C-alpha cells in the first residue's frame, strides 16, 4: 500500500499472508457469485424482452378496441359503464431470494374468480366493442403483472451485479496486488536482516579468532 | 380507463407535471400501498429522475407501458440501460 508504512516483522508478515488468503478466497467466491448472477440476469433479460413486446402489442390492441368502443358509444355512457368496477384485485407481494438479492414475487387474487365477471355493466346499453376491449385488457393484464415482476427483478439484479463486479475488480486489481507487494517487501527486508546478521557473526568470529591466536 | 374495470386504481393525469404529482403521492404518502405502478411512457420521459430513484428499492415497481399513441420504445430502452449497467457494455447488439 503506497503511503502507509509497514513494519517489516515476522508478525506483520503472517498477518498479511492471512489477509491475502482471505482476499483470494473472497475474490474467488465473489467471482462465482458474479458469474451466476450474470447467468440468471441474462435469463431474466430474455424473458423481459419477450414479455415487453407481448404487453406492448396487447396494450396497443386493447387501446385500439377501446377507441372503437368510445367512438360508438357516447363518452358519458362509456364513463358510466366503467364507473364502478365489479372486479377488484388484491396484490400480494412476497420476496424471493436469488443469490442474496431479494426480488419481489407478485401474486394477485381477484375478488371474482369467474373471468366473465369483469364487465361492470349491463349489456343492454353498451356496445359489444366495449366487451372486446375489456377482454383484451384482462388478457394483457396478466402479462403486465408478470412484466412488473420480471422488470423489477432485472433492475435489482443489475444493481447487485454492478456492486459485485466492483468488488471483484477491487480485490483483483487493488487489494491482492497490494498485499502481494507488501509481502514481497517484508520477505526481502527480513532476508536482508538475516544476511546482515550472518555477516556480522562471521566478522565477529574472525575477530575472536584473531584475538585468540594472535595472528595478523 | 379500461383498467378500472379490471379492479386497478386509476389516476388520470393531463400532463407529466400532474403525473409527477400523482406519482409522488402514491410513492410517498400512501405507505407501500401500491406495489406496482404502471405509468404511460409519454409521462415517464419527463419523470425519469423520479422513476430512477425507485430502481434499486424492491418496492414499488414502476413499469412503463405504452400509451394510446402506441409504444415509443422507452420500455425497451430501460431494459438496455439495465443490461449496460450490469455488464458494462450493450451486449444485446441493437
pLDDT digit string, tens, across residues A31-63: 999 999 989 888 888 898 888 888 888 888 888
Contact A81, A126 (CB under 8 A): yes
Give the Å distances, CA to CA, from A66 to A130, A134, A213, B4.
6, 8, 117, 13
pLDDT of residue B5: 65
Q: Kindly report the pTM of this predicted structure.
A: 0.78
In chain A, the domains with their CATH numbers are 10-166 (1.10.287.3240)
A171-193: average pLDDT: 93
Split at pLDDT 50, 70, 90, the class of A116 is low
Instruction: Give the single-character DSSP code of B8.
Output: -
Taking an 8 Å cut-off on Cβ atoms, the answer to whether B5 and A147 are in contact is no
Instruction: Judge: B2–A82 Cβ closer than 8 Å, yes or no.
Output: yes
Nearest to A62 by CA among B61, B13, B68: B68
If residue A95 lies in a helix (H) or strand (E), which one and from where to where?
Answer: strand A89-98
Name the residue facing B86 among A119, A147, A157 (closest C-beta). Answer: A157
| Contact between chains at A157 and B58 (C-beta distance less than 8 A) | no
Where residue B89 falls among pLDDT bands split at 50, 70, 90?
Answer: confident
Find out whether A49 and B79 touch, Cβ atoms under 8 Å: yes
Which pLDDT does position A158 carry in this prediction?
Answer: 87
Q: Quickly tell me which residue has 425519469 as its cell.
A: B48
Distance from CA of B6 to the nearest CA of A (A): 6
Q: Could you tell me which residue, B38 or B73, shows the higher pLDDT?
A: B38
3-state secondary structure of A110: strand
For residue B5, what is the nearest residue in chain A, using CA coordinates? A85
| CA–CA gap between residue A26 and residue A196 (Å, rounded) | 38
Residue B4's pLDDT band (boundaries 50, 70, 90)? low
Q: Measured between beta carbons, which residues in chain A are less than 8 angstroms from residue B59?
A: 93, 104
Q: Can you list the domains of chain B with their CATH numbers?
A: 8-87 (3.40.50.10580)
Residues B8, A89: Cα–Cα separation, whole Å? 7
Which of A53-62, A88-97, A142-151, A177-186 is predicted least confidently?
A88-97
DSSP state letter for B65: E
CA distance A55 to A142: 9
Q: How far is B17 from chain A (nearest CA, A)?
A: 23
Q: Does A102 touch chain B (CB under 8 A)?
A: yes
Over residues B6-53, the pLDDT tens digits come to 667 778 777 778 888 888 777 776 566 777 888 877 777 777 777 777
Beta bridge partners of A89: A110
CA angle A126/A131/A133 to nearest 5° reads: 120
Task: Please name the residue that has the C-alpha cell 482471505.
Answer: A22
- Mean pLDDT of chain A, nearest integer: 83
Q: What dihedral do alpha carbons A81, A84, A88, A89 form, nearest 10°?
A: 80
Minimal Cβ distance to A87: which of B6, B70, B87? B6
pLDDT value at A194 more than 90? yes
Handedness of CA B81, B31, B45, B73 (dihedral sign): positive
Looking at the predicted structure, is the pLDDT value of residue A18 above 90? yes
Kindly state whether B10 is in contact with chain A, defined as any CB-CB distance less than 8 angstroms. Answer: no
What is residue A151's predicted lDDT score, i.e. its pLDDT? 86
Q: Which residue has the higher pLDDT, A109 or A31?
A: A31
Nearest CB to A56 within list B2, B55, B75: B75
Chain B, 18-77: which have a CB under 8 Å from a chain A CB? 35-36, 38, 55-56, 58-59, 61, 63, 65-68, 70-71, 75-76
pLDDT of residue A204: 94
Q: How confident is the model at residue A11 (pLDDT cuts 50, 70, 90)?
A: very high
Amino acid at each position: 500500500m503506497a503511503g502507509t508504512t509497514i513494519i517489516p516483522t515476522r508478525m506483520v508478515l503472517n498477518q498479511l499472508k492471512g489477509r491475502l488468503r482471505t482476499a483470494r478466497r473472497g475474490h474467488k467466491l465473489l467471482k462465482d457469485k458474479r458469474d451466476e448472477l450474470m447467468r440468471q440476469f441474462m435469463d431474466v433479460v430474455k424473458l423481459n424482452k419477450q414479455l415487453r413486446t407481448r404487453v406492448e402489442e396487447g396494450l396497443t390492441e386493447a387501446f385500439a378496441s377501446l377507441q372503437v368502443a368510445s367512438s360508438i358509444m357516447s363518452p358519458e355512457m362509456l364513463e358510466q359503464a366503467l364507473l364502478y368496477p365489479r372486479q377488484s384485485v388484491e396484490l400480494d407481494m412476497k420476496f424471493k431470494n436469488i443469490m442474496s438479492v431479494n426480488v419481489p414475487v407478485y401474486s394477485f387474487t381477484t375478488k371474482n374468480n369467474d373471468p366473465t365477471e369483469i364487465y361492470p355493466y349491463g349489456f343492454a346499453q353498451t356496445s359489444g366493442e366495449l366487451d372486446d376491449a375489456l377482454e383484451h385488457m384482462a388478457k394483457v393484464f396478466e402479462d403486465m403483472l408478470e412484466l412488473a415482476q420480471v422488470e423489477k427483478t432485472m433492475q435489482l439484479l443489475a444493481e447487485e451485479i454492478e456492486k459485485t463486479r466492483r468488488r471483484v475488480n477491487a480485490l483483483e486489481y487493488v487489494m491482492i496486488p497490494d498485499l502481494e507487494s507488501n509481502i514481497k517487501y517484508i520477505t526481502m527486508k527480513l532476508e536482508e536482516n538475516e544476511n546482515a546478521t550472518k555477516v556480522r557473526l562471521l566478522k565477529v568470529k574472525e575477530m575472536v579468532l584473531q584475538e585468540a591466536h594472535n595472528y595478523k | 380507463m379500461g383498467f378500472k374495470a379490471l379492479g386497478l386504481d386509476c389516476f388520470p393525469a393531463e400532463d407529466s407535471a400532474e403525473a409527477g404529482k400523482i406519482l409522488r403521492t402514491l410513492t410517498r404518502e400512501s405507505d407501500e400501498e401500491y406495489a406496482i405502478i404502471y405509468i404511460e411512457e409519454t409521462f415517464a420521459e419527463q419523470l425519469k429522475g423520479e422513476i430512477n430513484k425507485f430502481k434499486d428499492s424492491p418496492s414499488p415497481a414502476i413499469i412503463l407501458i405504452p400509451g394510446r399513441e402506441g409504444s415509443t420504445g422507452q420500455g425497451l430502452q430501460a431494459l438496455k440501460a439495465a443490461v449496460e449497467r450490469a455488464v458494462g457494455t450493450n451486449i444485446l447488439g441493437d
